[in-house]
């Protein structure tokens, strides 16, 4: 071994040892913070009882310390991942959260990756160094430093780097080559410049992030959520951030990313999960879901509501006080017209309709008794007796019933007659038939936007509840005023206790603190409240949303502070979009910004070349993203007769799994084929599961449809019967494009008939 090599290895060992010593300091600080927070949480939990203010403060403290402990635990792995050496001689470490030395004027020990001072770690280049002399990427395993990669930012070094301008190229490629685990990993240590610019973009307005497969769209969206909460915490902590994903499996896949970035107060949901109390997991045909997702359904639902506002053909007879009363068509029509003119939701306008009808019935009874003999008090007594009569109330309920969204939608979709009335001139007969289902059928994800729309159209007559709430608020305000008066006058109360109250501006604010569920975070309160509006909304796979789903999300974010992430070339839902302008113009016109991700980090060039052929056959002008790496594993194809699939496919799967060792293999196939052979295939492969549950992603082999694999990634993908994928859907090429780009290492194709033309060109 040459002396020069020995010297280099010695220097490297010394550098690793120095980094290890510093990392020990950081973990020591982290342990101290955990111990301190744990003690404070225990002390808070022991402090029970007391007046409402004390209980409120205890709940707030419990929530704060619990969230802090969750955050401190989530950053255990990869606490520090980088270092900046500046021209000034200063050195900063960059990591998952900020740590400070309280004994040295709060000198930063570790910069939070979101802090402005840490941004050069992601953006500095040889051409624009921003004062950075050296950037170091640390490779660690839990609390141990394994190695490092240095970038000296001078022009000579830059000429030797990647033509894509990758920061920390060796670290990035090592991360990309690592085996998948069934859980999405954060990219905080390897964020690239084009990703950083999107992550740190301003919060106002709608930002659309268009990116092809493997460009890190999802990771960028989640890191953006963490960045916005860090930078705009005051604005967002009260209203929260909503992250919307395409399905529960996807949410499980990304579930650990935000905690690892130091954030726990984000609500993760599908569109189908945004209606409290509804579990919308039933399935239906893609065509039925597409029909439900059309904007025309707003007119259908409006008509369905109006259909429940009836008038008699002639009259309805009821018995009151042993005498007949008549609900006349003329009176009911006038009452309905007046109620509708208020433009109130159905259940609120119902009160106007009933008031008018009770007034008409009161006059009818009065005429029988002799109006000239009655005064206002007599008429009021008659009106009250009518309102208390079950027969009269029941008859009026038949004309204008109080409805819930659940009841109205269920009755609409299970009644051919009601559907025919509501969908007249909107849907064709076969489309109407596609919506019909049995009464009481379980809810599907496409039902949730319809329920949400109906909740807006119906409203809730909460007059009695509001009156009770106002009474309680008056009592709480009086109590709060008394608390403040006692605290101000009692000389035995210590000054520090008096100061705890002095931050309360007035009794109304103190009463509000008594009322608020302080033990819940903003995200948890939002999950229980359909009308909650968020400070920012992030949507992944946004191209898949239907027109009705967009209406739901826009109601959840009236400020239009949104980040929409997707790829119109990967749209598979029949109700999805191929144009961002088409979905956004009804809400923000042209006031939205487009950012593009152009570098493919996940899909190796060998696989992307195959996918690019498919993209070229699609009706789009999008270019495939540029892959940063090759693997030396060319995609392969094999033909198996249809009748031999069940017997021969297990051997093919086993051989492919052996190639990825401890990695994850996805077997993707059309839905009908998965239903037909999936269970039998799983029985013959001990490592395999049919992926219907989120935890299934952690299995060595998972059998999925292409739609279920959207947004996920695997070490290897085996695509079965691609010819059926393209034939069974109007967006078959889009589905094929998605399937081909899920793999990070290997791609195999098993077909029974001729390959689709775009694939055949790649395997000629």
Q: Which of 171-175, 542-546, 614-618 has the lowest mean pLDDT?
A: 171-175
Strand 714-720 to 562-566 pairing: unpaired
Same domain, 292 and 168: no
- Residue 168, classed as helix, strand or coil, is coil
Residue 260 backbone dihedrals phi, psi, to 5 degrees: -70, -20
| pLDDT value at 517 more than 70 | no
The pLDDT value given to residue 463 = 57
Query: Residues 6 or more apart from 449 whose CB is under 8 A from it?
Result: 271, 292, 293, 546, 548, 549, 551, 552
Same domain, 61 and 191: yes
The pLDDT value given to residue 163 = 45
Same domain, 29 and 171: yes
| pLDDT value at 155 more than 70 | no
Domain-embedded: residue 454 = yes
Residue positions forming the annotated binding site for ATP: 211-218
Residue positions forming the annotated binding site: 211-218
Q: How confident is the model at residue 500 (pLDDT cuts 50, 70, 90)?
A: very low
Same domain, 189 and 43: yes
Domain-embedded: residue 216 = no
Portion of the chain with pLDDT greater than 70, in percent = 87
- Residue 467, classed as helix, strand or coil, is helix
Strand 99-101 to 107-112 pairing: antiparallel
Same domain, 295 and 181: no
Same domain, 188 and 302: no
Measured distance CA(324)–CA(336) in Å, rounded: 23
Same domain, 647 and 751: yes
Same domain, 189 and 302: no
| pLDDT value at 630 more than 80 | yes
Same domain, 405 and 302: yes
- Domain tally, the chain: 3
Domain end position, chosen among 430, 458, 486: 458
The pLDDT value given to residue 1 = 54
Q: How confident is the model at residue 592 (pLDDT cuts 50, 70, 90)?
A: very high
Portion of the chain with pLDDT greater than 90, in percent = 63
Mean pLDDT (the chain) is: 87
Domain-embedded: residue 464 = no
Domain-embedded: residue 352 = yes
For residue 325, what are the domain limits? Answer: 286-458
Domain-embedded: residue 306 = yes
pTM of the predicted model as reported, rounded to 2 decimal places: 0.84
Section 310-327 average pLDDT: 93
Domain-embedded: residue 558 = no
Domain end position, chosen among 161, 179, 197: 197
State pLDDT tens for residues 227-275.
999 999 888 888 999 999 998 888 888 888 888 887 877 899 999 999 9
Domain-embedded: residue 148 = yes
| pLDDT value at 664 more than 70 | yes
The enclosing domain of 627 has a CATH number of: 3.40.50.300
- Residue 419's H or E segment, with its range, is helix 416-422
Q: How confident is the model at residue 103 (pLDDT cuts 50, 70, 90)?
A: confident
State pLDDT tens for residues 125-146.
888 888 999 999 999 988 999 9
Which residue matches tokens 């999300």?
A: 553
Which position has the higher pLDDT, 53 or 120? 120
CA–centroid distance for 242 within its chain: 6
Which position has the higher pLDDT, 362 or 169? 362
State pLDDT tens for residues 690-740.
876 666 778 899 999 998 898 889 999 999 999 999 988 778 999 999 999
Side-chain half-sphere CA neighbours of 210 within 13 A:
16
Measured distance CA(764)–CA(760) in Å, rounded: 6
- The answer to whether the beta carbons of residues 526 and 69 sit under 8 Å apart is no
Domain-embedded: residue 2 = yes
State pLDDT tens for residues 479-492.
656 655 555 555 54
The pLDDT value given to residue 480 = 58
Section 17-31 average pLDDT: 96
State pLDDT tens for residues 160-185.
444 455 776 767 777 777 777 777 78
| pLDDT value at 16 more than 70 | yes
State pLDDT tens for residues 397-431.
999 999 999 999 999 999 999 999 999 989 999 99
Same domain, 140 and 24: yes
The pLDDT value given to residue 4 = 62
Same domain, 36 and 184: yes
Same domain, 635 and 737: yes
Q: How confident is the model at residue 157 (pLDDT cuts 50, 70, 90)?
A: very low
Domain end position, chosen among 171, 197, 223: 197
């Amino acid at each position: 071994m040459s002396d020069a090599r020995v010297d280099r290895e010695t220097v490297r060992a010394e550098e690793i040892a120095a980094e290890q010593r510093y990392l020990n300091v950081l973990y020591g600080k982290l342990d101290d913070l955990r111990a301190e927070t744990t003690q404070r949480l225990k002390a808070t939990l022991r402090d029970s009882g007391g007046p409402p203010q004390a209980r409120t403060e205890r709940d707030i403290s419990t929530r704060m310390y619990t969230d802090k402990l969750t955050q401190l635990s989530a950053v255990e792995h990869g606490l520090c991942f980088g270092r900046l050496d500046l021209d000034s001689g200063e050195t900063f470490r960059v990591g998952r959260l900020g740590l400070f030395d309280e004994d040295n004027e709060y000198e930063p020990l570790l910069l939070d990756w979101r802090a402005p001072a840490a941004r050069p770690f992601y953006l500095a280049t040889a051409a624009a160094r921003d004062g950075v002399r050296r950037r170091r990427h640390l490779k660690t395993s839990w609390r141990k430093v394994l190695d490092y990669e240095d970038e000296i930012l001078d022009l000579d070094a830059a000429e030797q780097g990647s033509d894509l301008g990758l920061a920390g190229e060796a670290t990035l490629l090592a991360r990309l080559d690592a085996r998948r685990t069934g859980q999405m990993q954060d990219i905080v240590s390897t964020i690239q410049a084009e990703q950083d610019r999107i992550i740190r973009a301003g919060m106002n307005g709608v930002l659309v992030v268009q990116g092809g497969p493997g460009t890190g769209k999802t990771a960028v969206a989640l890191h953006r959520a963490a960045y916005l909460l860090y930078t705009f915490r005051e604005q967002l902590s009260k209203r929260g951030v909503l992250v919307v994903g395409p399905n529960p499996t996807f949410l499980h896949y990304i579930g650990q990313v935000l905690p690892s970035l130091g954030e726990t107060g984000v609500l993760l949901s599908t569109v189908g999960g945004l209606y409290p109390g509804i579990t919308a997991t039933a399935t239906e045909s893609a065509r039925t879901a597409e029909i439900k997702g059309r904007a025309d359904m707003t007119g259908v639902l409006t008509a369905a509501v109006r259909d429940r506002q009836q008038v008699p053909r002639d009259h309805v007879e009821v018995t009151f006080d042993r005498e007949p009363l008549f609900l006349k068509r003329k009176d009911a029509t006038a009452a309905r017209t007046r109620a509708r003119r208020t433009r109130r939701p159905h259940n609120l306008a119902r009160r106007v309709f009933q008031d008018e009808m009770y007034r008409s019935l009161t006059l009818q009874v009065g005429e029988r008794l002799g109006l000239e003999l009655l005064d206002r008090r007599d008429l009021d007594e008659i009106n009250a007796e009518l309102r208390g009569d079950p027969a009269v109330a029941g008859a009026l309920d038949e004309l204008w019933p109080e409805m819930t969204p659940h009841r109205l939608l269920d009755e609409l979709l299970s009644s051919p007659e009601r559907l025919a009335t509501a969908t007249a001139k909107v849907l064709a007969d076969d489309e109407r038939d596609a919506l019909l289902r049995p009464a009481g059928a379980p809810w599907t994800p496409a039902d949730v936007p319809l329920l949400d729309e109906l909740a807006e159209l119906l409203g809730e007559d909460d007059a009695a509840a509001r009156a009770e709430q106002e009474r309680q608020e008056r009592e709480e305000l009086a109590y709060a005023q008394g608390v403040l008066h006692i605290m101000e006058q009692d000389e035995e109360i210590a000054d520090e206790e008096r100061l705890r109250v002095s931050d309360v501006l007035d009794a109304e604010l103190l009463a509000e603190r008594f009322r608020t569920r302080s033990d819940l975070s903003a995200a948890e309160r939002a999950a229980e409240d359909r009308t909650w509006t968020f400070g920012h909304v992030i949507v992944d796979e946004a191209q898949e949303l239907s027109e009705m789903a967009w209406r739901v999300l826009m109601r959840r974010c009236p400020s239009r502070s949104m980040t929409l992430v997707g790829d119109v070339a990967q749209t598979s839902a029949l109700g999805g979009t191929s144009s961002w302008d088409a979905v956004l113009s009804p809400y923000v016109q042209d006031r939205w910004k487009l950012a593009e991700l152009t570098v493919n980090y996940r899909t190796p060039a060998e696989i992307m070349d195959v996918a690019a052929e498919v993209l070229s056959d699609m009706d789009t002008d999008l270019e495939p993203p540029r892959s940063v790496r090759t693997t030396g594993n060319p995609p392969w194809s094999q033909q198996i007769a249809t009748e031999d699939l069940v017997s021969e496919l297990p051997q093919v799967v086993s051989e492919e799994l052996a190639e990825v060792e401890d990695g994850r293999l996805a077997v993707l196939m059309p839905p009908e084929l998965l239903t037909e052979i999936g269970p039998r295939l799983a029985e013959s492969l001990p490592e395999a599961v049919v992926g219907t549950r989120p935890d299934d992603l952690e299995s060595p082999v998972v059998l999925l449809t292409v739609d279920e694999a959207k947004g996920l990634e695997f070490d290897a993908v085996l695509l079965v019967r691609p010819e059926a994928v393209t034939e069974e859907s109007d967006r078959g090429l889009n589905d094929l494009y998605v399937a081909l780009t899920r793999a990070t290492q290997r791609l195999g194709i098993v077909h029974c008939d001729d390959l689709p033309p775009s694939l055949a060109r790649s395997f000629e």
